[in-house]
């Protein structure tokens, strides 16, 4: 049994000192972003978007300097590096949450799956079992095994066991092929239960709060709820003396970031739906549980409701477009003011 040693001590708000068998390190950051520096020189940046399952991790290894610095200068340099990293991670996090539209999903090629040949002909011996049988029949005891027959007997038993295991694996592969082909047949024929199965088993939507509705074989509807806490409310900058300056983010900047986040979220969802299902249109509603200033009550408000057309979406250059501006390519409902942000809108019902 191997024993592990690890101790973590909080030394300031958001900053922890970590001790382990291989050295010590410091980690700091805020919700959604973290930066760690180990005594070995390894630096790890991690950025996550709460509620989406999306994250980014980057690790780099720094080389140790040969020159020995004084304790004071070394501490000052480390402090500056930590502050620089914190500001960089803050900026990178904002860039990440406003670039969701750039994430390119891998399309599911249902027609290729539908036409995929069986791993072997039903009723015949599968390829793995054939290979195992060949090994069994080709086995010839060596000198030691001829002298000690029990050794040869045990090896034959292992070969025989391998044949049974190979048979079971062949049967499993065949069943999976049947299930996948049946699902492809159902998806391509527009069966609602097949659509629901694909979305439910999609890793992209697994950790997200959503509602999914099917109107017909070519039109689906999806609603997501975001968390306003995902948008930073502070602006971090580095002062001339190397300190981190924290200021409340201006209203215009905050609402612009949130608008890009919401718009990019909608595009991200539409791209994944089109990559997963053979539909031509999808309605996307992005909501948030917040105070409705018109009624004075908390509730689930629609921030954006948009009807995406596959043909139009496929022609967009996601690497260069602005997600908020891209909404103009589609019918949508949005009410957004630069200094006040989103106001609730009605869900779209027309395609």
pLDDT of residue 57: 58
| Token pair for 341 | 């942000």
pTM over the 0.85 mark: no
pLDDT of residue 5: 40
Tens-digit pLDDT profile for residues 68-91: 456 666 677 788 889 999 999 999
Place of tokens 């919700």: 31
Least confident of 17-21, 228-232, 341-345: 17-21
| Token pair for 106 | 């891998």
Task: Give yes or no for residue 243 having a pLDDT over 70.
Answer: yes
Tens-digit pLDDT profile for residues 253-277: 999 999 999 999 999 999 999 999 9
CA distance 285 to 212: 10
Question: In the chain, count of helices (H) and strands (E)?
Answer: 9, 15
CA distance 347 to 342: 14
Q: Which helix (H) or strand (E) holds 321?
A: none
pLDDT higher at 130 or 9: 130
Q: How many CA atoms lie within 13 A of 44 on its CB side?
A: 11
Tens-digit pLDDT profile for residues 308-329: 999 999 999 999 999 999 999 9
Residues 263, 264, 267, 272, CA torsion sign: negative
CA distance 246 to 298: 30
């Amino acid at each position: 049994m191997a024993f592990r040693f690890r101790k973590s001590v909080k030394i300031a708000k958001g900053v922890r000192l970590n001790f382990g068998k291989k050295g010590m390190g410091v980690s700091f950051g805020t919700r959604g972003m973290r930066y760690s520096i180990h005594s070995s020189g390894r630096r790890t940046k991690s950025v996550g978007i709460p509620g989406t399952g999306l994250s980014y991790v980057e690790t780099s290894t720094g080389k140790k300097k040969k020159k020995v610095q004084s304790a004071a200068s070394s501490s000052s340099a480390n402090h500056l590096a930590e502050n620089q990293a914190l500001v960089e991670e803050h900026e990178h996090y904002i860039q990440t949450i406003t670039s969701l539209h750039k994430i390119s999903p891998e399309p599911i090629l249902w027609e290729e799956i539908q036409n995929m040949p069986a791993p072997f002909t039903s009723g015949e011996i599968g390829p793995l079992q054939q290979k195992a049988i060949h090994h069994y029949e080709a086995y010839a005891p060596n000198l030691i095994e001829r002298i000690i027959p029990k050794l040869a007997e045990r090896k034959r038993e292992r070969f025989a066991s391998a044949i049974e295991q190979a048979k079971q694996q062949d049967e499993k592969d065949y069943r999976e092929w049947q299930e996948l082909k049946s699902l492809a047949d159902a998806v391509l024929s527009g069966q609602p239960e097949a659509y629901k199965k694909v979305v439910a088993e999609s890793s992209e939507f697994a950790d997200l709060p959503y509602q999914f509705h099917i109107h017909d074989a070519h039109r689906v509807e999806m609603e997501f709820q975001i968390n306003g806490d995902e948008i930073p409310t502070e602006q971090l900058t580095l002062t001339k003396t190397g300190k981190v300056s924290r200021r409340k983010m201006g209203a215009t900047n905050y609402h612009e970031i949130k608008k890009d986040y919401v718009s990019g979220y909608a595009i991200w969802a539409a791209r994944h739906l089109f990559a997963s299902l053979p539909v031509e249109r999808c309605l996307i509603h992005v909501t948030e549980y917040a105070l409705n200033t018109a009624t004075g009550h908390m509730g689930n408000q629609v921030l954006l409701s948009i009807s995406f057309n596959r043909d139009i979406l496929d022609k967009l250059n996601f690497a260069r477009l602005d997600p908020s501006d891209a909404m103009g390519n589609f019918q949508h409902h949005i009410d957004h003011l630069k200094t006040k942000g989103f106001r609730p809108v009605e869900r779209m019902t027309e395609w």
